[in-house]
Amino acid sequence: MTNDPLLRETYVHGHAPAVVRQHGMRTAEEAAAFLLPELSPEMRLLDVGCGPGSITVGLAERLPGGEVVAIDLSQETLAQARLDAEARGVKNLLYEYGSVYELAYPDASFDVAYAHQVFQHLTDRQAALREMLRVVKPGGLLAVRDVDWGSVTYWPPDPWLDRFVDVYEKTARGLGGEPRMGRRLRALFHEAGVSDVHVTGAVWCYATREETVTWGDSYADRLLTSSMGERQVETGLSTQAEIEAMAEAFRVWARKPDALWAFTHMAALGRKPAS
Ligand SMILES: C[S@@+](CC[C@H](N)C(=O)[O-])C[C@H]1O[C@@H](n2cnc3c(N)ncnc32)[C@H](O)[C@@H]1O
């Protein structure tokens, strides 16, 4: 826990290497596919909750005459993201510490505000979207993408993995988040008065040995080395022994020749009304 006033809530996954490594594999091509056709090179884009920045650099590369500002609450992750951007020679990109609830930017100062896999972790999602709307110009774009944990399908079945999905959802909700955010994005945008709302869905499907091992081991490591396991114990939803059993089940399942994991990710794109 922290006294930092910006940290109004607890990010359930934490920022251990097992988490950040997995996020660092994401790309703008995939994670912002719904937004890319709308971008033009001079735009100014805000990336909220940028994590390790692997999506962010891809966005900055598409805006050579513009700029990307990316914020997150993890100083350590931001420091690594800055080094990566430097190594890739991306200069039109600024990483700053900050919370979506209190953006340190003037009204109407961005053409686009984007958030990938962030809203599911927020306790006050309307306040967050309102703040993103504030900093976007009239007619500018709002782009938010989130998973829906209620759509998880996997094979072969394992009682510990079923238990994990159940406990994960309860833990995330107990911390004020919404693990089934994907299905609620259209409602979120409508409630905030966003116009021209268009929602699309895509499935992440892991069905090769490399993919299932990367995924299964990442969740095993998150359970054992990141705050995810601690939160489940703190909230009384699991014992430490159960956390260890879930982690082991993930590793064993991931190496089964028939292993497959899939879940749906929804993306909402809309515009700030002109007046
Ligand atoms: C699941 S990660 C997503 C990272 C990146 N967007 C991606 O998709 O790889 C969620 C990120 O949101 C950040 N976050 C959580 N609450 C936040 C807040 N109130 N303001 C800004 N960032 C926040 C976390 O620190 C974390 O890095």
> What's the CA-to-centroid distance between 42 and ligand 1, angstroms?
25
Q: Measured between alpha carbons, how far is 23 from 196 in angstroms, rounded to an integer? A: 29
Per-residue confidence (pLDDT) for residue 171, from 0 to 100 = 92
Per-residue confidence (pLDDT) for residue 25, from 0 to 100 = 87
Q: Which residues are 44's β-sheet partners?
A: 67
The predicted model gives 203-222 an average pLDDT of 96
Per-residue confidence (pLDDT) for residue 9, from 0 to 100 = 61
> What's the CA-to-centroid distance between 172 and ligand 1, angstroms?
14
Q: pLDDT tens digits for 155-206?
A: 999 999 999 999 999 999 999 999 999 999 999 999 999 999 999 999 999 9
> What's the CA-to-centroid distance between 258 and ligand 1, angstroms?
32
* Higher pLDDT, residue 166 or 275: 166
Q: What is the pTM of this model?
A: 0.93
For the domain bounded by 17-271, which CATH number is listed?
3.40.50.150
Q: Which residues line ligand 1 (CB under 6 A)?
A: 11, 23, 26, 31, 48-51, 55, 71-74, 77, 99-101, 116-118, 121
The answer to whether 145 touches 265, Cβ cutoff 8 Å, is: yes
Q: Measured between alpha carbons, how far is 129 from 258 in angstroms, rounded to an integer? A: 41
The contacts found for 26-30 with CB under 8 angstroms, 24 or more apart, are 26/54, 26/55, 26/116, 27/54, 27/55, 27/58, 28/55, 28/56, 28/57, 28/58, 28/59, 28/61, 28/62, 29/58
Per-residue confidence (pLDDT) for residue 5, from 0 to 100 = 39
The pLDDT of residue 1 is above 50:
no
Per-residue confidence (pLDDT) for residue 23, from 0 to 100 = 79
Q: pLDDT tens digits for 100-135?
A: 999 999 999 999 999 999 999 999 999 999 999 999
| Mean of the per-residue pLDDT values of the chain | 94
Q: pLDDT tens digits for 69-97?
A: 999 999 999 999 999 999 999 999 999 99
The answer to whether 154 touches 216, Cβ cutoff 8 Å, is: no
> What's the CA-to-centroid distance between 157 and ligand 1, angstroms?
30
Taking each helix axis from N to C terminus, what angle separates 209-225 and 240-254, rounded to the nearest 10 degrees? Answer: 170
Q: Measured between alpha carbons, how far is 251 from 247 in angstroms, rounded to an integer? A: 7
Residues 6+ apart with CB under 8 A from 210: none
- What are the domain boundaries of the chain? 17-271
Instruction: Please report, rounded to a whole number, the percentage of residues in the chain having pLDDT higher than 90.
Output: 86
Q: Whose CA is nearest to atom 19 of ligand 1?
A: 99
Per-residue confidence (pLDDT) for residue 2, from 0 to 100 = 39
